[in-house]
Amino acid sequence: MRRREFIGGVLSTAAWPLAARAQQPEQMRRVGVLMNRAADSSEGQARVTAIQQRLQQLGWSNGQNLLIDVRWGAEDPDLERKGAAELAALAPDVVLAGGTLSVIAMLHESRTIPVVFAGVADPVGLGVVASLSHPGGNATGFSSYEYSLAGKLLELHGAWREACGDPSRFLCPAGHREFRRDPRHGGIAS
Amino acid sequence: MIQGTAASLHKLPAVYAYRDIVIDGGLVSYGPDWLDQFRRAAEYVDSVGFVIFGHQSMECQFVPSHQGAPQRYEGALNTVGIDIGVVGTGGLAWAVLAPTSGVPAGALAGEYVGASGDVALGAGVGANVLIGGSQRSFALQPVSVEGSVALDVTLGLSALQLRYAPGR
């Protein structure tokens, strides 16, 4: 076979979802949302509203061509598991999982329903995805921290120490391997 | 009233990554814009959940890197196994690797499947490439154009059909 050269070009699908949708009759879709906040949490309500508004901007109106089922996991392992099981039973097209416990509960429940997550500190360390570039499996989404933020947090710590004295505790999530790996971050290794 | 944080249990002032904890009485927060993250997750719900797993057809455009006019194709995704980059709110992009710089109109049409071990791959072809087109002479390499924090979308995609659609 002849050596291939990078001289072909780019094949892309610009504005694909809207175009594809326009060609097809309206179909009701179902989204599950598992949120790691309590039902009465203002932050949780704000997040669900933000999700609904963005979906609406993308052409998905709740009650018209979209059904959104929300379960509140409240960072309580039992509630998260219960919510995940209830959502899986509804067989949604996709589940949006907010927070670490929610995505773990959801993946425990189903390895086939597509899961989009947000607010997960270390998806690779937790095994939610295989790697950032090739997540694998049925989950993708957003890590809540770009790893270099760890350095920024330590900078904040330095400024704090000057102003207020030494912080009494340093809590380092087990997943934040960058803390350990990179000697540039204030020389601190956890 | 802040509940459940290690610092609040011991009545320690603390820096949090969540703004809502500060609204509830915490000292300071420093972290991502969570609502924005959920808005962007909603975009992934749109592109990943509905479009890709919905097995819809798509409109494709091939832009040659050297000479020639853009070519339009209709694509159809089948079943499940590779990582694809997501552009904006739901487009996909592949780099097209061709044996020559001249790609005749319609030449990309055909069936594309994941490269297996018996396919000899040239320079620049990485994992998750799709091979196909006329005489199986083209390679489609997924391209990610999203920011570095966002993860690539993974799908189980084993086959892609392209049909030349010059009239659109």
Are A126 and A161 in the same domain? no
The whole-angstrom separation of Cα B24 and Cα B10 is: 16
The Cβ-side half-sphere exposure at B9, using a 13 Å CA radius, reads: 3
Q: What is the pLDDT of residues B9-50, one digit of tens each?
A: 777 777 777 787 888 788 888 778 889 999 999 988 887 655
A131 Cα distance to chain centroid: 14
Q: Nearest Cα to A119, choosing from A41, A22, A178, A37?
A: A37
The total number of structural domains in chain A stands at: 2
CA–CA distances in Å: residue B2 to residues A55, A157, B141: 31, 22, 49
Contact present, A17 and A58 (Cβ < 8 Å): yes
- Please give the residue of chain B at the shortest CA–CA distance from A117: B41
Are A41 and A108 in the same domain? yes
CA–CA distances in Å: residue A173 to residues A190, B29, B134: 10, 17, 52
Q: A136 vs B154: CB contact, 8 Å cut-off?
A: yes
Q: A169 vs B64: CB contact, 8 Å cut-off?
A: no
Residue A107, pLDDT score: 94
Least CB–CB distance from B108: residue in A11, A29, A139: A11
Are A64 and A96 in the same domain? yes
Are A65 and A103 in the same domain? yes
Residue A179, pLDDT score: 42
**Residue with structure tokens 């330095």?**
A158
Domain range for A160 is: 149-181
Residue A188 is assigned to a structural domain of this protein: no
Contact present, A97 and B44 (Cβ < 8 Å): no
Residue A163, pLDDT score: 73
Are A63 and A117 in the same domain? yes
Q: B23 vs A42: CB contact, 8 Å cut-off?
A: yes
- The verdict on A66 touching B (C-beta cutoff 8 Å) is no
Name the CA radius of gyration of chain A, rounded. Answer: 21
**For residue A12, what are the β-bridge partners?**
B61, B93
Are A32 and A123 in the same domain? yes
Residue A174 is assigned to a structural domain of this protein: yes
Q: B73 vs A143: CB contact, 8 Å cut-off?
A: no
Q: Grade residue B80 by pLDDT with cuts at 50, 70 and 90.
A: very low
Residue A17 is assigned to a structural domain of this protein: no
Query: For residue B40, which residues of chain A lie inside 8 Å, CB to CB?
Result: 54, 118, 142
Judge if ipTM > 0.90.
no
Question: Over its length of 190 residues, how does chain A's per-residue pLDDT go in tens digits?
Answer: 444 444 566 666 643 443 344 444 567 889 999 999 999 998 999 999 999 999 999 889 999 999 999 999 999 999 999 999 999 999 998 999 999 999 999 999 988 888 999 989 888 888 888 877 777 778 888 887 776 777 777 777 777 777 766 665 555 554 444 444 444 444 444 3
Residue A12 is assigned to a structural domain of this protein: no
Q: A4 vs B125: CB contact, 8 Å cut-off?
A: yes
Residue A154 is assigned to a structural domain of this protein: yes
Residue B70, pLDDT score: 84
Sign of the dihedral through C-alpha A57, A61, A62, A67: negative
Q: A140 vs B6: CB contact, 8 Å cut-off?
A: no
Q: A14 vs B108: CB contact, 8 Å cut-off?
A: no
Amino acid type, A32:
G
Residue A75 is assigned to a structural domain of this protein: yes
Query: For residue A98, which residues of chain B lie inside 8 Å, CB to CB?
Result: 38, 41
Contact present, A135 and B83 (Cβ < 8 Å): yes
Are A135 and A120 in the same domain? yes
- pTM attached to this predicted model: 0.57
Residue A122 is assigned to a structural domain of this protein: yes
Are A101 and A35 in the same domain? yes
Query: For residue B34, which residues of chain A lie inside 8 Å, CB to CB?
Result: 43, 47, 118-119, 144
Residue A19 is assigned to a structural domain of this protein: no
Are A39 and A121 in the same domain? yes
Least CB–CB distance from A146: residue in B18, B100, B149: B149
Contact present, A139 and B156 (Cβ < 8 Å): no
